[in-house]
Chain A
Amino acid sequence: MSTKVIHALYNDDDVLMDAVKTTRAAHHHIEEVYTPFPVHGLDKALGLAPTRLAICAFIYGLCGLGFGTFMMDYIMIQDWPQDIGGKPSFSYIQNMPAFVPVMFELTVFFAAHLMVITFFLRSRLWPFKAAENPDVRTTDDHFLMEVSLHGNEEEAVEFFKSTGAVEVKVIDKH
């Protein structure tokens, strides 16, 4: 059995925000919202959980800091503690100021790149990925709300028309 979804299209982000609120108040389940640009406050209106990407970045940064410290300690202090221009290579702390730029940059490098990669993986973005756009107009000037359909089809269509949608379609989704 195929499931049916409703595609309600809007041409204004304020109308969309109101529609999202009334839809949620009417206990329709919003599957997805497609917008051409970030709509401020949309995630809150949809009730989406806050992102944990920043926590990931912090942990990645600590990994980078640890890696930088380990690398400089192993190379400069443990493996071959050469005297280079009189720098004290007897212990890590003695020569630490010279390693701080490396430690800092690796912290930033790890935090930034691993966070971006995490973002790509979590949002399933990669080259040659087939676009999941239900309507090309949503990348330009239209906003689309996809709602799962249960029960009466006509009633639901009427409901979304009343939220200010410029177009309401019922689509078979496989």
Chain B
Amino acid sequence: MYTFSNKLKTFSFVLIILGVIGIAYGFLTAPKTVQDVELILSEQHHGGHGSHDEAHATTDSHAVGDSHAEVAAHDEAHQKHLEHVLHQLQNKPWSAVYVAAIFFMFIALGIFTFNQIQYAASAGWSPVLFRVMEGLSAYLLPGSIILFILLVASSLHLNHMFVWMADGITDPNSPKYDFIIAGKAAYLNIPFFLIRAVIFLAGWNIFRMLSRRNSIALDETGDLTYYKKNFKLAAMYLVFFIITESIMSWDWIMSIDAHWYSTLFGWYVFASFFVSGITVIALATIYLKSEGYLDFVNKSHIHDLAKFMFGISIFWTYLWFSQFMLMWYANIPEEVTYYIFRIKEYNLPFFGMLVLNFLLPVLLLINTDFKRLSWIIVMTGTCILVGHYLDFYNMIMPGTVGASWYIGVTEIGAILFFAGLFIYFGFRALAKAPLLVKNNPMIEESKHFHY
């Protein structure tokens, strides 16, 4: 039986408090009016760094013309530019929270999905890790609630993250009318969006709750019907998951860039959080083992997790490249703007994540001996988690804050806040049940698993 150590509990509280301070700072310093933005931009102009400079410089270039009409046009363009930047900067703390919220909720979802795959595949190696997976995926419920609140906040127009939610965007008489978005309004409308979100989040959480309940009941009663129930549940969940996951990625991520679409986006998002989930399982297992709670977990279990990290990292890269290369190759304007903007404005995070998510895992985890060394896995796992945070950052931020991005106090605060919540809820659930499942038909095989 695991006890949630006070040290770790305090650590998670510290993370949460630091995170709240960071997030509050972000919301309090976000500009309220166009004048604030003008001040910020002029400061940055003189400071002489950042990409705002360039954007500003292009509007300045209008002033070269000497007729009064052009000066007036410039003023108007300048006002529009300020308003544009204002919306981006107001979105920034919201997006920082949204990226971190969705990233950590997805990690819990990835862990739960991995757990269900192990059930459905009747895997013989992993039952010793089931409790770790069940415990860590407990963050799914609080994570879902927070994410849903954020989606509702967007729907209530508290932010401008989802451009298709704006008032009048589907109204032909409105100056905000957008022909393309209006054409998607049958799918992209607020009530339907929220209903879908409720179905997905509730569905996943109900599956998790039932699976956990059956697992505990199997422990207590030894009645194998619970095992069979969990097997069937896992099969049903995986079907439900792959459909809802795909739609969820259109809704919560792709619809931020409402003019853009990609067919393999759902799998791409899945690969990204699936590998992060497996990495978190590996890191938590190594942590618990080092604390002496998982004596029945041997090097071969860690080795298998590392193989999954390695393989799914490559799978993610395959999907990333497939999506990128097809659009780059065909160069259709409506598709390729997505990448042009990211390469121009997000160059370092966009290509940096390839190093973190592909190059380092491949080179570090290709060696069999390395896959058995805890410190290598911790190091690579950190790279993978940072890399996939950046991946979600690259998916969401360009559509909400555009070129006004930087990873500052708010972003890091949001990561700390959700990391703290994840640790708190995950490890609290770990402490609620014995760390070794009993009566699972595969458990003996799993205990003696060696590779």
Contact = CB atoms under 8 A, between A and B. Distances in A.
A75 interface: no
Interface in A39-75: 54, 58
Given A54-B368, A58-B366, A100 B331 contact: no
B139 to A, nearest CB: 37
Give the interface size class of chain B: under 10
B321 A100 contact: yes
B324 interface: yes
Given A54-B368, A58-B366, A97 B325 contact: yes
B331 A97 contact: no
A98 B368 CA distance: 32
Contact of B329 (A54, A58, A98): A98
B214 to A, nearest CB: 35
B76 to A, nearest CB: 36
A117 to B, nearest CB: 21
Nearest to A86: B331
Contacts of A86: 331
B328 A97 contact: yes
A58 B368 CA distance: 13
Interface string A94-138: 000110100000000000000000000000000000000000000
Give the interface size class of chain A: under 10
A88 to B, nearest CB: 10
B20 to A, nearest CB: 42
Interface in B291-311: none
A100 B366 contact: no
Interface in A125-167: none
B329 A97 contact: yes
A98 B327 CA distance: 11
Contacts of A58: 366
A97 B331 CA distance: 12
Contacts of A97: 321, 324-325, 328-329
A46 B185 CA distance: 70
Nearest to A55: B367
A58 B365 CA distance: 13
A33 B356 CA distance: 46
B241 to A, nearest CB: 30
Nearest to A54: B368
A101 to B, nearest CB: 8
Nearest to B366: A58
B368 to A, nearest CB: 7
Interface string B335-373: 000000000000000000000000000000010100000
B325 A100 contact: yes
Contacts of A100: 321, 325
A97 B330 CA distance: 12
A97 B324 CA distance: 9
Most chain B beta-carbon contacts within 10 A, residue among A54, A58, A97: A97
Contacts of B366: 58
A58 B331 CA distance: 35
A49 to B, nearest CB: 14
B310 to A, nearest CB: 14
B99 to A, nearest CB: 26
B299 to A, nearest CB: 15
Contacts of B331: 86
B82 to A, nearest CB: 35
B371 to A, nearest CB: 12
A97 B326 CA distance: 9
Nearest to A97: B325
B354 to A, nearest CB: 12
A100 B329 CA distance: 12
A102 to B, nearest CB: 12
Contacts of B368: 54
Interface string B130-144: 000000000000000
B316 to A, nearest CB: 15
Contacts of A98: 325, 329
A58 B362 CA distance: 12
Contacts of B325: 97-98, 100
Contacts of B321: 97, 100
A104 B415 CA distance: 36
Interface in B348-402: 366, 368
A35 B324 CA distance: 50
B12 to A, nearest CB: 41
A86 B368 CA distance: 44
A100 B328 CA distance: 13
Contacts of A54: 368
A45 to B, nearest CB: 15
B382 to A, nearest CB: 24
A54 B368 CA distance: 10
A44 B125 CA distance: 22
A54 B366 CA distance: 10
A100 B146 CA distance: 41
Nearest to B318: A104
Nearest to B331: A86
Given A54-B368, A86-B331, 10 more contacts: A58-B366, A97-B321, A97-B324, A97-B325, A97-B328, A97-B329, A98-B325, A98-B329, A100-B321, A100-B325
Interface of A: 54, 58, 86, 97-98, 100
12 contacts: A54-B368, A58-B366, A86-B331, A97-B321, A97-B324, A97-B325, A97-B328, A97-B329, A98-B325, A98-B329, A100-B321, A100-B325
Nearest 10 CB-CB pairings of A with B: A97-B325, A97-B328, A98-B329, A100-B321, A100-B325, A97-B329, A97-B324, A58-B366, A86-B331, A54-B368
